Chains A and B, each alone.
Chain A
Amino acid sequence: MSESKARELLARLRDAALDDLMHTSDEELRAEAHEDDEDLSRLAADFRCRISKRLGVTRPQRSTVDAKQTEAFRLSLLATAAKHLADAPNDSVTPEEMREIASEALLKLDDSCKSRYCSYVTFDWQSPRSTFGHDARLALAELLLSMYINESEEFDDLFPGSRAERVRALLRDAIHDPQISPFVSISLGTLVSTLCTLALGKASGFEFDPHQNAAQRNQLLRQIRVRKEWRAFRNLIAHQPELVTDSVDPSRAVSGLASMQAALARYRPDTIVAVAGGGEIVANFLCAQIGVDSRNYFVASRKHGEYVLDRELLAGSARKRMVIIDDISRTGSTLGSICNQTLGGIRSVELKTLALVCSGAATSYLRDSFLVLPLVAQSPNVSVPWDNKGSYRATRTNHVFGAERRSPLKVPKAFYERIYEGVST
């Protein structure tokens, strides 16, 4: 083949490949990128850096920003994202898609900042005026916060001197957001507890080193927590229940169980009554932990519309403090029925109830009888992370909840002890 023919053939082959490229959809290209392990974010970031250098387009100073142009850009950005959300029928937009739209919008904004075509500083993050819906705002907040946490030098450049303002704005937004606010109260509770611990420590004369590592910080917190001032403070706040939505995750379940154990250890009951089913799993575990004799352990199960114990309480025995244990109290009626009807005739005994998680209704109903309220659920259909038809079993290294059923919850004993240590000090 002559040289020119070879060249011409190569040109035609290239054109055919280009033609195919132009007929390949974005989705197909994305799939190819995934297959080829192409780092799209890096490719885009490199592109931005190279092009902004090459074009020599510099970010305008704050005073010279064309406010109208920037505002128009911002509004078009928000409008585009909002339109995407509004155009799609509600049932066809999955949370992942919303998240993707929101993240695209933010990346676009981020792109324009890094490319120095538009100033970020005028971006208005006041959600009440924003055209974004809750989900998009939540996704944006998550993205912004994760970016803030994983900030790079480039990101540092984006927020000249305004990080604190940005975070304050995000917090304000979060507190006013009905979806986020329950989590805010939980997180703020933890934060307040830690801050108060540190403040009490400082007041008690502990030395704080700003360069201390995590182990040193934990050591300091332990030292503070053994002081009587902290115990008094803890008594004020420790019994505040933690809020959950409609399911209890394993880590909250462990914290809740530890709180229950700590409360039982302080109360020292002489009799335990477990509600048959899920209550038995929790009660078996707690009895094993605090060492309740099997003679003082009873099970209440429902028969002919009312709860009866598995055997009779021995007449004349010196029972003074009795605790009825369940895993979930959805309405409070089960615990109430056992308190008032099954055991209601025993006047000399002090009756307390204990459940890992209670609904708001159950909390109101049994308000005075709870020994402790570890978790309060927003939904009465709340669930725990084990099958309540299973049982509790201890292995050499694990506590197993929902044993003999599918997907039991295994909690390493060492881990539980560490959590309990934190709760009981």
Chain B
Amino acid sequence: MQDGDGVSGPPSGFATADEVLEAIEGLTEIKKLRLMKAARICLDGSEYADPRELVDQAVSTPYFAARGEGGRRWPKGTDFVAFLVMTIRGLASDSRGSVVRRQSISTRVPTGDDGEERDLLDTIQHATPSIEDSELEKQRIEERRLDEEAKLAQVEQLCANDPQIGWIVKGIKEGKTAREVQRISGMSKLEYDTAHRRWRRKSEELFPARRKS
């Protein structure tokens, strides 16, 4: 049976709708906070305006999926919170991707044997994109680029203010392991862990335009 097929019988290993509800009931305050924090971290660049929207979407996804309405199902062997955090990450990433895709969809298609590309829209009468739409799209791309630059500038600023966070970010940029970062920075394991935690907490605050809760 394929994912999302009907409601008659879920494949073994995936939770039923009742089991998902039970797992949602079992979410403690701290687990809910963990989800909210994950959403705050992942929100950046996505189409979600508020971390709560992202959390709600992630929590409801396995329930509706278990009822056969499509979406990611919860494999029962996986920790529910870990699954939800990964769902939050996936949803935000998909949302970010859809923005990018929308920005880069070409209307030019190969036509004829010579492989020459022509604008598809040119073949459709009365469907020429309006100048306003094109301008808005350009504006959105530009806004996104500026947003990413601003975000990176904030990260740079954060690194300048806290050199230990600077080493953490440098390590992430260069794909270094924790041990390598500790070695080149001279940080102890405890210092590294503490700096890493500081980075995570700061990263939740890097989006002042968004509401915290």
Binding site for B on A (CB under 8 A): 1, 3, 6-7, 9-18, 20-22, 24, 26, 28-30, 32-33, 38, 40-41, 43-44, 46-47, 50-51, 54-55, 57, 104, 107-108, 111-112, 115, 117-118
Contact = CB atoms under 8 A, between A and B. Distances in A.
Given A6-B148, A43-B213, A13 B33 contact: no
8 contacts: A16-B200, A17-B41, A17-B203, A29-B33, A29-B34, A51-B60, A55-B21, A117-B25
Interface of B: 21, 24-30, 32-34, 36-38, 41-42, 44-45, 52, 55-56, 59-60, 63, 82, 85, 89, 93, 96, 100, 145, 148-149, 151-152, 155, 168-169, 172-173, 196-197, 199-201, 203-204, 213
A18 B172 contact: no
B55 A47 contact: yes
A51 B56 contact: yes
B196 to A, nearest CB: 5
A47 B196 CA distance: 28
A41 B33 CA distance: 10
Contact of B29 (A7, A17, A40, A51): A40
A7 B97 CA distance: 11
B152 A6 contact: yes
Given A29-B37, A117-B25, 9 more contacts: A6-B149, A13-B169, A16-B168, A24-B34, A47-B27, A47-B55, A51-B56, A55-B21, A111-B25
B53 to A, nearest CB: 9
A118 B25 contact: yes
Given A43-B213, A104-B28, A21 B172 contact: no
Contact of B37 (A10, A21, A57, A104): A21
B15 to A, nearest CB: 14
A107 B59 CA distance: 20
Contacts of A20: 196-197, 199-200
A38 B196 CA distance: 21
B197 A51 contact: no
Q: Dominant SS at the B interface?
A: helix
B197 A24 contact: yes
Given A9-B173, A12-B173, A29 B199 contact: no
Contacts of A40: 29-30, 32-33
Contacts of B41: 14, 17-18, 21
B85 A13 contact: no
B169 to A, nearest CB: 7
A107 B63 CA distance: 23
A3 B213 contact: no
Nearest to A112: B25
A1 to B, nearest CB: 7
Contacts of B169: 13
Contacts of B93: 11
Contacts of A111: 25
B141 to A, nearest CB: 9
B56 A54 contact: yes
Contacts of B196: 16, 20
